[in-house]
Amino acid sequence: MTEPPEHDYDFGDIAIIGIACRFPGANNKEEFWDNLVNGRESIRFLRKEEIEVDQALVNNPAYVAACAPLDGYDEFDPAVFNIPDHVATLMTPEHRIFLESVWDVLEDAGYDPERLQAEVGVYAGANPQTPALYSSPPDWVSVGPDVMDRSNAWFTDTMTSNALYYLGLTGEAVTLTAVCTGFPYAVHLASQSLLLGQTDMAVASGVMVRLPQLRGYLWEEGRIASRDGHCRPFDANGTGTRLASGVATVLLKPVRQAVDDRDHIYAIVRGSAINNNGASAVSYGFAQPERLSACMAAALHVSGVGPDTVSMYEANTFGLPITDGLEVRAAAMAYDGPTGTVSLGSVKGNIGHAGVAAGGSGAIKAALALYHGQLVPTINLTEVNEELDLPHTPFAPQLEGADWKPAAGIRRAGVTALGGGGYNAHLVLEEPPVRRSREPETGAPRLVGLSARDERALAARRTALREWIARHPEARLDDICLSLNLGRRVMARRWAAVVSSKEELVEALTAGSGSRVAATSAPVRQVDLSGLRQTEGGLAPREAREARDEQTLRRLAVAWTQGLAVDLAALHKGDEAHRVPLPGYPFERRRFWRTSW
């Protein structure tokens, strides 16, 4: 990743400090980015015997047996959230996937909900159709506990409040309905709440689980579903897209606060805007160029950046010539600049149209491109549609991957999402700020702790951390310790090590036990508390300087692994460590499915 220039941020800038997602062919953001970089298409063509419905239609010449399924859409780990199995069964797939995604995004940002002294707003869009397809509506003949459990697990309205409740958070909870613009609408509203000081941090998300998963569709001339199951953005032979499922979630914070808190920042939301077409001469649900262009211009105006400084445009595009043409026309009016200076692309060639999460797939693609300084190829684009007249616009299709070296000297991206019913949304994103330079690590001893619900998960956490360190040789031990000690919920099974370098940490993780590792799950035994004091958070070194004393840390490690409360925050006072995105919790998912009531 190239080092970005220094920045001066405005009051209205919002930092993306956590990212979590699941899309077809990708269980997390790392797999999603790898698929994008390598130009993989996450599509599955079904055999007749696999198709869950539509048996009367499979021989129809217009039936396309293609889908983009979401792995594990029917699985969940309720024990992590202290949710009984019968309630987990009542919850719709979107409720369950969303809840895990909120957990993931907080861990990715390095925050433990139980120790978070902040108001956290949760804003998310969901598909109102999924609850009805999963189960019948709650029976309001009774208003007893069973009906209330079923109602809270079923209604899309309670999806965001459930996240606050089950993660132990307080803040605003808003479930919004804006069809396929659900994610950017959530970002827009979350940003407003942050800027008004109503929340300290905000989760913005969009989730879509299409049911049933294993089914094709009937192709219809001029509609958005493609003739052969492939989406070909901006291609002369494009016939549409295909439908997909997914969840996209980000954690937001005002950028100046994020910098002060030494948060990990993927990208900056410089501006956002939403509007609706209203009455339009264009067919209802199609892009109206003037209104869409006005939405883009509004986002640029709020961002305070010139359109000629934006060098990536992530399009909504359905891979249909008419819709592609309308969007390119709108974007060319808002981004009027030198020809061929803006990389044009769309993630829909990779995964298709993820409905409420579709805007999130494009926004996360753009945020990761900004973070990595890399432009990824737009796949299935082999013959650019000449009717788009791209040579007379600022846009040039991104046919191959490339390092992102903008002429303006700073990376910025525009991301568009459209929704049926005339919904428009646009985000202006920017690369993350430069982190302040720090002194090299001193090699002083540090305590690093891992915990999980059981030994299997604890072993998985050790393995994942060891593999992460191998992939990130630039990582610092102090950052790793801070992120784990303060950014993970403390669970029953615990492992701790006192180490002075990453090499020692890797050695301890590999061995699983040894001279540097405290006992993990043995019965509670006598713990040496000499040199320790009691704080509101638990045991801590008696003096601040002893936070780097090896013997003191060993006593704390033993106490912590024996189940005693340890004030881990006291070990990081005065640190210049930063939060870094370490591997998340290894959920032990099981299938939960309601077959009848």
Q: What is the pLDDT of residues 290-332, one digit of tens each?
A: 999 999 999 999 999 999 999 999 999 999 999 999 999 999 9
Token pair for 69: 């399924």
Residue at which a domain ends, from 430, 462, 496 = 430
- Please check whether residue 160 lies inside any domain of the structure: no
Residue at which a domain ends, from 399, 430, 461 = 430
pLDDT at 574 over 80: yes
Q: Is there a single domain that holds both residue 135 and residue 231?
A: yes
pLDDT category, 287, cuts 50, 70, 90?
Answer: confident
* CB contact at 8 A, 545 and 572: no
For 239, what's the count of Cα atoms within 13 Å in the CB-facing half-sphere? 12
Which pLDDT score, from 0 to 100, does residue 525 have? 62
- Please check whether residue 99 lies inside any domain of the structure: yes
Q: 3-class DSSP state for residue 267? A: strand
CB neighbourhood size of 91 (10 A): 28
Mean pLDDT of 60-80: 96
* CB contact at 8 A, 369 and 376: yes
pLDDT at 530 over 60: yes
For 355, what's the count of Cα atoms within 13 Å in the CB-facing half-sphere? 22
Q: 3-class DSSP state for residue 457? A: helix
Mean pLDDT of 465-494: 97
Mean pLDDT of 152-176: 95
Helix and strand numbers, DSSP H then E, in the chain: 16, 23
Q: Is there a single domain that holds both residue 225 and residue 257?
A: yes
Query: How many Å apart are CA 578 and CA 576, to the nearest integer?
Result: 7
pLDDT at 5 over 60: no
Query: How many Å apart are CA 586 and CA 380, to the nearest integer?
Result: 34
CATH label of the domain that carries residue 372: 3.40.47.10
pLDDT category, 280, cuts 50, 70, 90?
Answer: confident
- Please check whether residue 295 lies inside any domain of the structure: yes
Chain position carrying tokens 């019968």: 86
Chain position carrying tokens 């994008």: 36
State how far Cα 36 lies from the chain centre: 15
Q: Is there a single domain that holds both residue 304 and residue 416?
A: yes
pLDDT category, 1, cuts 50, 70, 90?
Answer: very low
- Please check whether residue 91 lies inside any domain of the structure: yes
Q: Is there a single domain that holds both residue 554 and residue 454?
A: yes
List beta partners, residue 121. 202
pTM: 0.95
Query: How many Å apart are CA 332 and CA 338, to the nearest integer?
Result: 11
Domain that holds residue 285: 14-140+166-430
Mean pLDDT of 431-443: 90
Which pLDDT score, from 0 to 100, does residue 594 have? 78
- C-alpha angle 466-469-472 in degrees, rounded to nearest 5: 155
CB neighbourhood size of 494 (10 A): 21
Q: Is there a single domain that holds both residue 89 and residue 170?
A: yes
Tell me how far CA of residue 485 lies from CA of 323, 451, 577, in angstroms: 49, 10, 12
Which pLDDT score, from 0 to 100, does residue 184 have? 98
Q: Is there a single domain that holds both residue 21 and residue 88?
A: yes
Lowest-confidence segment of 264-273, 391-400, 524-533, 573-582 by average pLDDT: 524-533
Chain position carrying tokens 């980000």: 250
Do strands 402-403 and 267-276 pair parallel, antiparallel, or not at all (unpaired)? unpaired
pLDDT category, 595, cuts 50, 70, 90?
Answer: low
pLDDT at 136 over 90: no
List beta partners, residue 64. 217
Token pair for 211: 């049911």
In this structure, the chain runs to a length of: 597
* CB contact at 8 A, 97 and 73: yes
pLDDT at 6 over 60: no
Q: 3-class DSSP state for residue 30? A: helix
Chain position carrying tokens 């869409």: 292
Lowest-confidence segment of 418-422, 486-490, 495-499 by average pLDDT: 418-422
Q: Is there a single domain that holds both residue 369 and residue 505?
A: no
pLDDT at 7 over 80: no
Tell me what percent of the residues of the chain surpass a pLDDT of 70: 95
pLDDT at 519 over 60: no
pLDDT category, 2, cuts 50, 70, 90?
Answer: very low
CATH label of the domain that carries residue 454: 3.30.70.3290
- Please check whether residue 101 lies inside any domain of the structure: yes
User: In this structure, what are the phi and psi dihedrals at residue 498, rounded to the nearest 5 degrees?
Assistant: -110, 115
Which pLDDT score, from 0 to 100, does residue 245 have? 97
Q: Is there a single domain that holds both residue 323 and residue 423?
A: yes
pLDDT at 597 over 70: no
Query: How many Å apart are CA 412 and CA 342, to the nearest integer?
Result: 10
Q: How many domains does the chain have?
A: 2
- Please check whether residue 474 lies inside any domain of the structure: yes
pLDDT at 517 over 50: no
- Please check whether residue 132 lies inside any domain of the structure: yes
Q: Is there a single domain that holds both residue 457 and residue 414?
A: no
Tell me what percent of the residues of the chain surpass a pLDDT of 90: 83
Lowest-confidence segment of 347-361, 410-424, 488-502, 583-597 by average pLDDT: 583-597
What type of residue is 502?
K
Q: Is there a single domain that holds both residue 405 and residue 463?
A: no
Mean pLDDT of 269-298: 90
Query: How many Å apart are CA 483 and CA 212, to the nearest integer?
Result: 39
Do strands 120-125 and 201-208 pair parallel, antiparallel, or not at all (unpaired)? parallel
Mean pLDDT of 330-335: 97
Q: Is there a single domain that holds both residue 352 and residue 263?
A: yes
H/E element holding 413? strand 412-419
Mean pLDDT of 496-516: 83
pLDDT at 59 over 50: yes
Which pLDDT score, from 0 to 100, does residue 105 have? 98
Q: Is there a single domain that holds both residue 426 and residue 463?
A: no
Q: Which of 583, 417, 17, 23 is nearest to 247 (CA)?
A: 23
Which pLDDT score, from 0 to 100, does residue 575 have? 87
Residue at which a domain ends, from 373, 399, 430 = 430
Token pair for 131: 């609850």
pLDDT category, 375, cuts 50, 70, 90?
Answer: very high
- Please check whether residue 208 lies inside any domain of the structure: yes
Query: How many Å apart are CA 387 and CA 545, to the nearest integer?
Result: 69
Name the packing angle between helices 321-334 and 289-303 (round to 10°).
40
Lowest-confidence segment of 16-30, 253-267, 500-514 by average pLDDT: 500-514
